[in-house]
Amino acid sequence: MATATARMLTIQSLRSRLRPSAALGHSFFSTSTVSASAAAVEAERSRRDGPRNDWSRDEIKSVYDSPVLDLLFHGAQVHRHFHKFREVQQCTLLSIKTGGCTEDCSYCPQSSRYETGLKAQKLMNKEAVMQAAKQAKEAGSTRFCMGAAWRDTVGRKTNFNQILEYVKEIRAMGMEVCCTLGMLEKQQAEELKKAGLTAYNHNLDTSREYYPNIITTRSYDERLETLHHVREAGISVCSGGIIGLGEAEEDRVGLLHTLATLPIHPESVPINALVAVKGTPLQDQKPVEIWEMIRMIATARIAMPKAMVRLSAGRVRFSMPEQALCFLAGANSIFTGEKLLTTPNNDFDADQMMFKILGLTPKAPSFAKAEEEHEPEICKEALSSVG
């Protein structure tokens, strides 16, 4: 009883912080004050006030816990307010250096610690990478992402310089370029920026509390430090996580809370569903259900309204109608191409058909925007703190 009363007071105090939006021309609560969920309240606030980074964990949790169809509906409202709702960004992710990684990420077939049958390979040569980028462009991708299975690039000067060349050349082809190469030092981030890198991916994976159950060879704070170097270098930040690792819902909330309270929200937030690979410690995890994805996507959309929310690994398991619900909830980016690093991805023709049936349009690359895209996403609190 006391809990129910406290919850009601929380909702009432949220409501009391809201004023009818002049831009909307009416009070959102004019017809259904009593039944408004936290998703409704916070979606309205996001639409009215824009991105903010002062989210409390309880606020994110109450959005996440809202009735799922209500959450979906309000995620869609926020999505349509901040984005062209038919546009979906197509990114292609290529593993340019596969396997043999010294880290122990429990979900990853590329870790040398697990027997997954994956053969380690050296860095791909320039010709092969350029050929893959060309094919991706011809297939409609506007962003080309290169992944290397390394803890970091320190001590890999030759390989790193090669990657700088790849970045320059792919950028010159008229594509946005993203890399995921493990932890980055400040100087490396600056060099990647100089080469023309659009975005850098470095996922937080899960909540700070659950993280040690998944990875022990690098800390959560080291991950945050890499994100800081990327942000400081002026590169767009791509950071999200994976669900289905055996975490509790509280950990999913914790992950979203950490991302939504960064000084500037990531420009891209990939939401991955574990693809359990035989030989990894998580091989027996049960598959994530579509409603779990929708909860994550819609909560991410409401909490980080301007970010590109990417429906990433695990998409291959979802039917077209299920993916349609994810787009409705606020996802607006996907990976296309045969493989996602080493795991299977959706068929190219099936994706083309899905775009046609759902009336989706590919998002064009936007370099000026990509270079400045972190600016409009600076949260009000971050702006006020720098005067």
Q: Identify whether 179 is a catalytic site residue.
A: no
43 touches ligand SF4 (CB under 6 A): no
Shortest Å, Cβ 279 to ligand SF4: 13
Per-residue b or e along 312-332, where b marks 16 or more CB atoms closer than 10 Å to that residue's CB: bbbbbbbeeeebbbbbbbbbb
Q: Is 91 one of the annotated binding-site residues? A: no
145 among known catalytic residues:
yes
Q: Is 379 a catalytic residue?
A: no
Beta carbon of residue 135, minimum distance to ligand SF4 (angstroms, whole number): 23
Specify whether 238 is catalytic.
Answer: yes
Handedness of CA 31, 32, 33, 38 (dihedral sign): negative
Q: How far is the CB of 32 from ligand SF4 (least distance, A)?
A: 45
Interaction between residue 108 and ligand SF4 (CB under 6 A): yes
Is position 379 annotated in a ligand binding site? no
DSSP assignment of 25-73 equals: TB-GGGTTTTT--HHHHHHHHHHHH---S---HHHHHHHHTS-HHHHHH
Q: Is 301 considered catalytic here? A: no
Q: Is 111 in the site for ligand SF4 (CB under 6 A)?
A: yes
Query: With binding defined as CB under 6 A, does residue 149 bind ligand SF4?
Result: yes
Among 44, 59, 103, 176, binds ligand SF4 (CB under 6 A): 103
For residue 7, the Cα-to-chain-centroid distance in whole angstroms is 30
3-state secondary structure of 92: strand
Q: Is 333 in the site for ligand SF4 (CB under 6 A)?
A: no
- Closest by CA to 312, choosing from 158, 177, 201, is 201
User: Could you say whether residue 239 binds ligand SF4 (CB under 6 A)?
Assistant: no
Q: How far is the CB of 250 from ligand SF4 (least distance, A)?
A: 23
Report in angstroms how near the CB of residue 105 gets to ligand SF4 at its nearest. Answer: 3
Q: Which entry of 310, 315, 326, 379 is annotated as an active-site residue?
A: 310
Q: Does 110 engage in binding with ligand SF4 (CB under 6 A)?
A: yes
48 is in an annotated binding site: no
* Strand-pair category, 339-340 with 143-148: unpaired
Q: How far is the CB of 182 from ligand SF4 (least distance, A)?
A: 6
Report the amino acid identity of residue 200: Y
Which of residues 103 and 373 has its CB atom nearest to ligand SF4 in the complex?
103
- CB of 181 closer than 8 Å to CB of 171: no
Contact 370, 125 (CB under 8 A): no
Is the CB of 110 or the CB of 226 nearer to ligand SF4? 110
- CA-based angle 226:231:235, to the nearest 5? 105
**Site for ligand SF4 contains 101 (CB under 6 A):** yes
Closest CB to ligand SF4 among residues 107, 144: 107
Choice between 114 and 327, CB closer to ligand SF4: 114
Task: Look at the block and give the residue holding tokens 């509790």.
Answer: 248
Name 344's bridge partners.
339
What track of x and - describes contact with ligand SF4 for positions 158 through 187 (by CB under 6 A)? ------------------------x-----
The DSSP secondary-structure symbol of 214 reads: T
User: 243: part of which helix (H) or strand (E)?
Assistant: strand 241-243
Q: Is 178 annotated as a binding residue?
A: yes
Q: Is residue 101 part of an annotated ligand binding site?
A: yes
375-378 long-range contacts, CB within 8 A, separation 24+: 376/306, 377/51, 377/264, 377/265, 377/267, 377/306, 377/307, 378/51, 378/264
Among candidate residues 101, 179, 326, 379, the one labeled active-site is: 101
Binding residues for [2Fe-2S] cluster, by number, are: 145, 178, 238, 310
Q: Which residues bind ligand SF4 (CB under 6 A)?
A: 101, 103, 105, 108, 110-111, 149, 182
Residues noted as catalytic: 101, 105, 108, 145, 178, 238, 310
